[in-house]
Amino acid sequence: MAELFYDDDADLSIIQGRKVAVLGYGSQGHAHALSLRDSGVDVRVGLHEGSSSKVRAEEQGLRVVTPAEAAAEADVIMILVPDPIQARVYAESVKDNLKDGDALFFGHGLNIRYGFIKPPAGVDVCMVAPKGPGHLVRRQFEEGRGVPCIAAVEQDATGGAFALTLSYAKAIGGTRAGVIKTTFTEETETDLFGEQAVLCGGASALVKAGFETLVEAGYQPEIAYFECLHELKLIVDLMYEGGLEKMRWSVSETAEWGDYVTGPRIVNDATKAEMKKVLAEIQDGTFAKEWMAEYANGLPRYNEYKKQDGDHLIESTGKELRKLMSWVDDK
């Protein structure tokens, strides 16, 4: 069973005694920086020249400096810039500003797991990854609650790395909900697998295949859109609230029977065998290497896929149908 930590297990004064730099002010960065500040932590935000987030951070009362200045001032450096550029930001702004005893923090383990960032031996390497988008992390914190986090230590140079990690998690509200101990390896590999096989890759491929099957059989795209994409939200909301059991309790008996007999024909042994291959490519670093090469190369295939799917009939159909639904925010 997973090890869980709550407020009483974490000592807020540890992080309150440090100087924290949050690099990046996007989804996670803004939530971490604001909640750290509200928890009485000395925090500065590091942003690059011309950053569009800078004004927002300053309006919200935070001091913004360059990433290098932030890293030089601080002894805890949380890197919350996009994953593909973290290695560059680290090399340009962080590396030379690390002293023994400092701590390097991450919200996702990819760059450490695959060795794109190799911190020196004298530095603690820690992770606090909230299991929710930054805006929810911040909103929950403001409401006196928190989003569960997972936390890990890759390198414990000081002997106090995990206590520091829990203290950081407490300052952003994580221990109010519960913090699960993991490793950089487990977090990175499961995160990549989940988003590829199930959440983003699996779900969008399933939706498109279902939609195409109906349209190719002569049904109206508008009807296919409702059945294969729109209604997915209702199902996912029920799973989110009460697992498969609540979803099956809520749908009709006919739908539940179809679920049992047809689901395993769609996601079958061949699908699972492919999932195992996908996982193996995540574990051996093939995926990360390819993705970093694609990024460095200017994203040619990424943009091609984006265009292809942008032109899919399901997208133009949805654009029109969403206009009929005043409560759906299509921005």
Residues contributing to the site for Mg ion (CB under 5 A): 191, 195
On whether the CB atoms of residues 10 and 181 are closer than 8 A, the answer is no
Binding site for substrate, by residue number, is 252
Nearer to ligand NDP, 25 or 168 (CB): 25
Task: List the strands of the sheet with 124-130, edge to edge.
Answer: 4-5, 179-181, 149-155, 124-130, 103-106, 76-79, 19-23, 42-46, 64-65
Nearer to Mg ion, 60 or 220 (CB): 220
Partner in contact with 182, chosen from Mg ion, ligand NDP, none, beta carbon below 5 to 8 Å by kind = none
Smallest distance, Å, CB 109 to ligand NDP?
Answer: 9
Partner in contact with 133, chosen from ligand NDP, Mg ion, none, beta carbon below 5 to 8 Å by kind = ligand NDP
Nearer to Mg ion, 3 or 195 (CB): 195
Nearer to ligand NDP, 108 or 176 (CB): 108
Q: If you write DSSP's letter for every residue of 198-212 in order, what string do you get?
A: IITHHHHHHHHHHHH
Chain contacts with ligand NDP (rule: CB under 6 A): 23-29, 46-48, 51-53, 67, 80-83, 85, 89, 107-108, 129-130, 133-134
Q: Which residues are catalytic?
A: 108
Smallest distance, Å, CB 227 to Mg ion?
Answer: 6
Partner in contact with 189, chosen from ligand NDP, Mg ion, none, beta carbon below 5 to 8 Å by kind = none
Smallest distance, Å, CB 229 to ligand NDP?
Answer: 22
CA distances from 190 to 66, 87, 184, 186 (A): 33, 21, 10, 6
* Amino acid at residue number 256: E
CA distances from 109 to 112, 153, 192, 250, 329 (A): 6, 10, 10, 37, 32
Neighbours of 329 (CB within 10 A): 7
